[in-house]
Structure 1
Amino acid sequence: MTKKEIYSNDLKNWNVKRGASTHSLYLIGEHASPPKFRRNNSSNHLNIFILCGPTASGKSYLGHELAKAYNGEIINIDSMQVYKEIPIITASPPKSYKTEVTYHLYNFLSITEDFSVIKYLKLATEKIKEITGRGKLPILIGGTGLYINSLVFGYNNIPDIMEDLRKEVRELHSKIGNIELWNKLEKLDPLAASKINQNDTQRLIRAYEVFMQTGKSIFSFQTLLKEQILSDFNFKIIFFKS
């Protein structure tokens, strides 16, 4: 049997709750494998599998086998595999796989086209809802940490701070210190001031510069962020260490 076929169930399990959802992480080493999940069609619509890790770690093979066993469809979560021009470099799924399982968001975009994490999240969310709407299991495979983190925990869509303003705020802080800067923040953004300790320099400066740039509390962006999360789903994350 090959290395990919001798997986066992010796896994380290990690869980985190967000609202009604529970997300789990399974770490897979050189001779380890995913847990044995029971087939349960009535609850499949609540689960999303994410298989991530380095190239040639076995995640594509495992994802394909999971999709066949659990009535799943696969969604790409790798920033390079979206492009048409580089399927070989990024080890895109072979044609034989695509005859057995439905694959989404692979090699559909020209490398000359603009693409971002926000655009990816929109497409991936649509695919996830389409797949679960058909009563099937979404399985995401890839290695782009920003895409994975943004899908599970949401994306921070705060605009970039202009360099001149960033420099100005840091110079102001160096002159007046934490307490006075916190007092200024409290007048401008009471919500942020109530949540940020006066001694937390980094968060204090960040909240102040965000308000000066946007006229909005940094926590208003975080509220919008939470609304974008797929809160009705449990993410089962399988990470391949090698």
Structure 2
Amino acid sequence: MTSDPILSKPVVCIMGPTASGKTALAVELAKAIHGEVVSVDSALIYTDMNIGTAKPTEKEKQGIVHHLIDILNPEQSYSVADFIRDASVCIEDILERGKIPILAGGTMMYFNALHHGISEIPAADHDVRAIIAEQITKHGSAWLHQQLQEVDPASADKIHPNDPQRVTRALEVFKSTGKTLSAWKAEKKPMPSYDFFNFALMTEDRALLHSRIEKRFKTMLDAGLIDEVQEIISNYTINPDLPSMRSVGYRQVFEYLAKDIDYDTMVEKGIAATRQLAKRQITWLRGWENTEWLDINEDNNLQRVMQKVCVTRQ
């Protein structure tokens, strides 16, 4: 965030954990300051995934243009680099038309890359990945993590041994390029210079957030989340390892439809996974610099954001 009186590329960021009210605030702000919303959400990019992603309806959008929603089908993958490319195009287009880009969402890796740049890490090597998958089956996740510890201790220290997906990616990068993932990440590509206004919707009342998460997940189920996932399975070539099906809620319903878990367990796991996601988002945000904190219980958040943005831009 900057306090310069003249800003050439103002970009407002509305961040926060899931179920904190980011979309509603972004829409109200866009109406007030002549803005458009750019979604910063790794699940909203997928078509036919509406209920479980809390995708805003046309009524909820209130006529405000939203970008980077429904741009892929659930079979496809989308990287951080893809987001940076697409978001940058959206931001520049919105600015050129004299409007204000309002980035709203909870995928903190996307926000982090947009603020600090990304490393040009090579694309996945599927042959190497297949070999590593065989090793996981044979030796287990702990053994694989130890292999990563030996070649890339910096990455291993940041990745939990029970996170085989990230361990696999780190080993895959090393085996296919001869350079560690941590070394690739150290070589960040600079991002275009934007004048960021960062706002985080938060609450110190963790019980309140947990209650909102539980209520929202159960509302999604009542709205037809199970049928939505069944339709996706019927219409696309889907497996549980696809990025779309790793989204919270969808993975648990997928397991339920596969008869791996019963209904009550699905509900319990869905709520727990969403709470864990919120916890990770909050951890990201607590380390975020130059950020205005907004309490989700307050009624004057729109006014606070407008005052900060409009006063600085005068």
Using the size of structure 1 for normalisation, the TM-score is 0.57
- Superposed, 1:210-229 pairs within 5 Å as 213-214=178-179, 218=183, 222=187, 225-226=189-190, 229=191
Provide the residue aligned with 1:237 in structure 2.
Answer: 198
Query: Retained in 2: the 8 A contact 1:51–1:237?
Result: yes
- Once the two structures are superposed, residues 100-137 of structure 1 have per-residue CA deviations (whole angstroms, 9 ceiling, x without a partner) of 21111112210112221111111111000000010110
Q: How many angstroms apart in 1 are the aligned matches of 2:76 and 2:57?
A: 24
Q: How many angstroms apart in 2 are the aligned matches of 1:48 and 1:170?
A: 42
Give the number of the structure whose alpha-carbon radius of gyration is greater: 1
Bigger share in helix:
2
Q: How many angstroms apart in 2 are the aligned matches of 1:49 and 1:119?
A: 20
2:58 is aligned, of 84, 95, 107, to: 95
Provide the residue aligned with 1:80 in structure 2.
Answer: 43
CA-CA distance at 1:219 after TM superposition:
8.2
Query: Retained in 1: the 8 A contact 2:26–2:104?
Result: yes
Percent identity over the alignment is: 30
SS of residue matched to 1:239: strand
2:72 is aligned, of 87, 102, 109, to: 109
Aligned amino acid, residue 189 of structure 2: L
Counterparts in 2 of 1:202 and 1:108: CA distance versus 1, 3 Å:
closer
Aligned amino acid, residue 75 of structure 1: V
CA-CA distance at 1:85 after TM superposition:
1.8
CA-CA distance at 1:51 after TM superposition:
0.8
SS of residue matched to 1:240: strand
- Once the two structures are superposed, residues 169-188 of structure 1 have per-residue CA deviations (whole angstroms, 9 ceiling, x without a partner) of 948x9xxxxxxxxxxxxxxx
Query: Retained in 2: the 8 A contact 1:157–1:221?
Result: no
CA-CA distance at 1:86 after TM superposition:
1.2
- Once the two structures are superposed, residues 218-242 of structure 1 have per-residue CA deviations (whole angstroms, 9 ceiling, x without a partner) of 48962x512xx121x1111111123
Counterparts in 2 of 1:97 and 1:78: CA distance versus 1, 3 Å:
same
Aligned residues: 165
Alignment of 1:58 onto 2:21: yes
Query: Retained in 1: the 8 A contact 2:39–2:104?
Result: yes
SS of residue matched to 1:92: coil
Query: Retained in 1: the 8 A contact 2:120–2:184?
Result: no
SS of residue matched to 1:75: strand
Q: How many angstroms apart in 2 are the aligned matches of 1:122 and 1:230?
A: 11
Aligned amino acid, residue 213 of structure 1: G
Query: Retained in 1: the 8 A contact 2:91–2:101?
Result: yes
Query: Retained in 2: the 8 A contact 1:74–1:141?
Result: yes
Aligned amino acid, residue 82 of structure 1: I
Query: Retained in 1: the 8 A contact 2:121–2:184?
Result: no
Q: How many angstroms apart in 1 are the aligned matches of 2:184 and 2:50?
A: 40
2:31 is aligned, of 44, 48, 68, to: 68
SS of residue matched to 1:65: helix
1:120 is aligned, of 83, 89, 100, to: 83
Query: Retained in 1: the 8 A contact 2:40–2:106?
Result: yes
Q: How many angstroms apart in 1 are the aligned matches of 2:106 and 2:43?
A: 9
Provide the residue aligned with 1:27 in structure 2.
Answer: none
CA-CA distance at 1:202 after TM superposition:
4.5
Q: Tell me how large the CA RMSD over aligned residues is.
A: 3.6
Counterparts in 2 of 1:170 and 1:128: CA distance versus 1, 3 Å:
same
SS of residue matched to 2:48: coil
List gaps (5 residues or longer) in structure 1. Answer: 1-14, 16-21, 24-39, 174-200, 204-208
Using the size of structure 2 for normalisation, the TM-score is 0.45
- Superposed, 1:154-169 pairs within 5 Å as 154-159=117-122, 167=147
Counterparts in 2 of 1:98 and 1:202: CA distance versus 1, 3 Å:
closer
Provide the residue aligned with 1:187 in structure 2.
Answer: none
Counterparts in 2 of 1:170 and 1:113: CA distance versus 1, 3 Å:
closer
Q: How many angstroms apart in 1 are the aligned matches of 2:67 and 2:185?
A: 33
